């Protein structure tokens, strides 16, 4: 047994130490990911969701040709979207979607319509303020109804 211990103990001890370090790093990375994800979810719930809900309600008050917009929230991811005219597809109406999500530590805004993705932009998390969100939503609605 002495030969086996002499040959393998140091190798196995180094391997064991590496495994512990790897687990600690993975745990730290996971906690960081969850923390950032939760920060974005909180911002989406307190800043983006109210602005999108306000926009959908406003469009509903403008008449029946503007009805059918709603806010879609992803329960597991930091992702929220305003969808315009989704319920009127059977009437030949076009739809559009403005999606706010997390991309690493940045804010990602994707605009889609029935033709596909029309724009995709990354912003610093610090721009996620009510005025910025409102401006992005107003521009989105303007571009949809201008075409």
Q: State the pLDDT confidence band at 63, using cuts at 50, 70 and 90.
A: confident
CA atoms within 13 A on the CB side of 76: 0
Residue 51 has pLDDT above 80, yes or no: yes
Give the integer Cα–Cα distance in Å for 79 and 55: 17
Beta bridge partners of residue 110, listed in sequence order? 99, 120
Residue 101 has pLDDT above 90, yes or no: yes
- The tokens for 51 are 């602005």
* Angle, helices 49-61/130-146, rounded to nearest 10 degrees: 40
Model pLDDT, residue 113 = 82
pLDDT digits (tens, 9 = 90+) for 116-129: 778 899 999 999 99
Domain ranges of the chain: 2-146
């Amino acid at each position: 047994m002495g030969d086996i211990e002499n040959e393998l103990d140091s190798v196995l001890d180094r391997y064991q130490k590496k495994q512990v370090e790897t687990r600690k790093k993975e745990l730290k990375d996971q906690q960081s990911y969850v923390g950032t994800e939760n920060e974005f979810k909180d911002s989406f719930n307190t800043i983006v969701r109210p602005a999108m809900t306000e926009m959908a309600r406003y469009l509903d008050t403008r008449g029946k040709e503007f009805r059918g917009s709603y806010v879609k929230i992803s329960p597991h991811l930091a992702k929220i979207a305003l969808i315009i005219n989704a319920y009127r597809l059977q009437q030949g109406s076009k739809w559009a979607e403005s999606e706010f999500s997390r991309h690493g530590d940045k804010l990602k805004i994707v605009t889609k319509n029935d033709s596909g993705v029309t724009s995709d932009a990354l912003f610093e998390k610090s721009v996620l303020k009510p005025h910025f969100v409102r401006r992005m939503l107003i521009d989105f609605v303007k571009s949809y109804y201008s075409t």
